[in-house]
């Protein structure tokens, strides 16, 4: 092609070329803005909450990288309430607290920065203690330790207001305390420590129906509960018996059958009282309240549910504790509530995916000022 001909072709295509270049510039600029805003908006911390016996709820900030705790705002103390159980709505808009001394449930609105504002107080049964939301956030379930029952409330998605469902409260066995709902929302398990049993229920449409064969013997002083994410196995901490019981869950009925080797014990340490399961790495952690060997760690067999102590478990990391043990949802850190000798703190631990051995987070334990009751983590 001659030079004049080439020039004419280039001139004809120039508008198209300019539009093509402009489009590329806009795309790359958009990507740069998007990446920049994403990195700058990502917070270095996330929130958690604990109940305090003086009648308030404390906001905590957990460092994403180190696991360290800093204190946030605290709700005004309300005398005579003694909040215990906590439940955070899946929307992160509402937080519920069981006021065991006042027989009420506090409904808090959660602001974008995590601070709480009391919205309403809802009457509960006598001695409300443990609470849990079903996975959909439609229902709140609360154990009433003194009145031996379980209250079920429907949750208003817009306001968080609670309305007790028909048939509630549902009867339980003596002194129900801790409560757990499986990931599917089909089954509910409640501990009855005074008799050493677990009461099992099916759950549908807000209605609890006791499983045939329930309650199931666990161990003296049965307290904390944990379930793995596939909801094949349930584990309980038996504080007085110094054991951990394991059960296979019938996927149709919710009935429980002891797994091979259950109950399980540790080579040292007494009084297991709090537990949580890292379902990502298949570690079960247990905190005790009666020994210097205060952290137990187990792995579990995915086929049988049998527990095996992790290497070097138990770990001599706390003199005592066991008010709660809460696992980060994504793994990597867990937190233990302590009140021994007026310590009133939360101990923080880190671990790796290939090694269950916990190490103490720098700065731990973190002083709270008064004995922490229960803890929930927002993610």
How many CA atoms lie less than 13 Å away from 180 in the CB half-sphere? 24
pLDDT, residue 319, reads 63
pLDDT tens, position by position, 148-179: 999 999 999 999 999 999 999 999 999 999 99
pLDDT, residue 42, reads 65
Burial (CB count <10 Å: 0-12, 13-18, 19+), residue 69: buried
CB 191 within 8 A of CB 175: no
Closest CA to 249 of 225, 273, 263, 230: 230
In a domain, 281, yes or no: no
In a domain, 307, yes or no: no
Please identify, among 171, 204, 236, the residue that sits at the C-terminal boundary of a domain: 171
Please identify, among 171, 189, 205, the residue that sits at the C-terminal boundary of a domain: 171
pLDDT, residue 330, reads 84
In a domain, 250, yes or no: no
pLDDT, residue 13, reads 46
**How many residues comprise the chain?**
379
Instruction: Give the residue numbers spanning the domain of 2.
Output: 1-42
Q: Return the structure tokens found at 101.
A: 């001394």
- Give the neighbor-by-neighbor strand order of the sheet with 104-110: 83-88, 94-99, 104-110, 116-123
Core vs surface per residue 107-141: b (16+ CB within 10 A) or e: bbebeeebebeeeeebebbebbbbbbbbeebbbbb
In a domain, 13, yes or no: yes
CB 198 within 8 A of CB 265: no
Structurally, how many domains does the chain consist of?
2
Which residues partner with 290 through β-bridges?
none
Same domain, 82 and 38: no
In a domain, 4, yes or no: yes
pLDDT tens, position by position, 256-280: 999 999 999 887 778 899 999 997 7
pLDDT, residue 127, reads 96
CB 300 within 8 A of CB 308: yes
In a domain, 335, yes or no: no
pLDDT, residue 321, reads 73
pLDDT, residue 378, reads 93
- DSSP for 271-323 reads -EEEEEEETTTTEEEEEESS-SB-EEEEEE-TTT--EEEPTT-SB--BSS--S
Burial (CB count <10 Å: 0-12, 13-18, 19+), residue 76: exposed
Return phi, psi of residue 297, to 5°: -135, 135
The angle at the Cα of 133, spanning 128 to 139, to the nearest 5 degrees, equals 90
CB 140 within 8 A of CB 162: yes
**DSSP code for 334:** E
In a domain, 87, yes or no: yes
Same domain, 106 and 163: yes
pLDDT, residue 298, reads 94
Which residues partner with 258 through β-bridges?
247
- The CA distance from 160 to 124, in Å, is 15
Please identify, among 171, 193, 224, the residue that sits at the C-terminal boundary of a domain: 171
- What predicted TM-score, i.e. pTM, was given to this entire model? 0.87
- The CA distance from 95 to 89, in Å, is 6
Burial (CB count <10 Å: 0-12, 13-18, 19+), residue 273: buried
Closest CA to 242 of 349, 322, 145, 188: 322
pLDDT, residue 20, reads 42
Provide the 3-class DSSP secondary structure of residue 7. Answer: helix
- The CA distance from 320 to 343, in Å, is 10
pLDDT, residue 27, reads 38
In angstroms, the Cα distances linking 108 to 92, 121, 206, 218 are 11, 9, 22, 35
The per-residue pLDDT string of the chain (379 residues; one tens digit each, 9 = 90 and over) reads: 444 444 444 444 444 444 443 444 333 344 433 444 343 456 899 999 999 988 999 999 999 999 999 999 999 999 899 999 999 999 999 999 999 999 999 999 999 999 999 999 999 999 999 999 999 999 999 999 999 999 999 999 999 999 999 999 999 999 999 999 999 999 999 999 999 999 999 999 999 999 999 999 999 999 999 999 899 999 999 999 999 999 999 999 999 999 999 999 887 778 899 999 997 778 999 998 876 778 999 999 999 999 999 999 999 887 667 899 999 988 899 999 988 767 789 999 999 888 899 999 999 999 998 888 999 999 7
Domain of 146, CATH number, reads: 2.40.10.500
**DSSP code for 82:** -
pLDDT tens, position by position, 13-67: 444 444 443 444 333 344 433 444 343 456 899 999 999 988 999 999 999 999 9
In a domain, 90, yes or no: yes
């Amino acid at each position: 092609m001659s030079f004049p001909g080439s020039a004419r072709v280039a001139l004809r295509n120039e508008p198209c070329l300019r539009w093509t270049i402009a489009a590329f510039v806009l795309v790359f600029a958009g990507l740069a803005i998007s990446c920049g805003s994403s990195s700058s908006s990502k917070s270095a911390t996330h929130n958690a909450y604990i109940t305090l016996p003086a009648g308030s709820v404390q906001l905590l900030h957990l460092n994403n990288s180190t696991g360290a705790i800093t204190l946030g705002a605290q709700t005004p103390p309300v005398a005579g309430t003694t909040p215990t159980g906590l439940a955070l709505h899946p929307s992160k808009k509402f937080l519920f607290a069981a006021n065991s001394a006042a027989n009420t449930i506090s409904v808090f609105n959660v602001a974008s920065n995590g601070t709480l504002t009391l919205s309403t107080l809802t009457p509960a049964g006598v001695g409300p203690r443990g609470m849990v939301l079903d996975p959909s956030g439609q229902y709140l379930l609360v154990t009433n330790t003194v009145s031996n029952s379980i209250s079920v409330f429907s949750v208003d998605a817009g306001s968080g207001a609670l309305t007790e469902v028909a048939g509630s409260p549902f009867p339980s066995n003596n002194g129900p305390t801790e409560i757990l709902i499986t990931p599917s929302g089909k089954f509910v398990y409640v501990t009855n420590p005074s008799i050493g049993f677990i009461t099992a229920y099916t759950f549908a449409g807000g209605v609890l129906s006791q499983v045939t064969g329930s309650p199931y013997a666990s161990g003296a002083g049965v307290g904390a509960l944990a379930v793995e994410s596939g909801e094949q196995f349930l584990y309980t901490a038996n504080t007085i018996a110094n054991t951990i019981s394991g059960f296979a869950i019938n996927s149709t009925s919710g009935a429980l059958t002891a797994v091979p080797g259950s109950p399980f014990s540790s080579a040292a340490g007494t009084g297991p009282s709090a537990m949580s399961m890292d379902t990502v790495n298949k570690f079960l952690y247990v905190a005790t309240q009666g020994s210097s060997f205060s952290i137990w760690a187990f792995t579990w067999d995915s086929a049988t549910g049998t527990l095996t102590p992790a290497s070097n478990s138990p770990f001599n990391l706390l003199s005592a504790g066991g008010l709660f043990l809460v696992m980060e949802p994504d793994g990597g850190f867990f937190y233990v509530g302590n009140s021994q000798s007026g310590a009133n703190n939360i101990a923080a631990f880190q671990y790796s995916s290939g090694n269950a051995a916990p190490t103490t987070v720098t700065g731990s334990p973190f002083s709270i000022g008064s004995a922490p009751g229960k803890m929930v983590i927002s993610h």
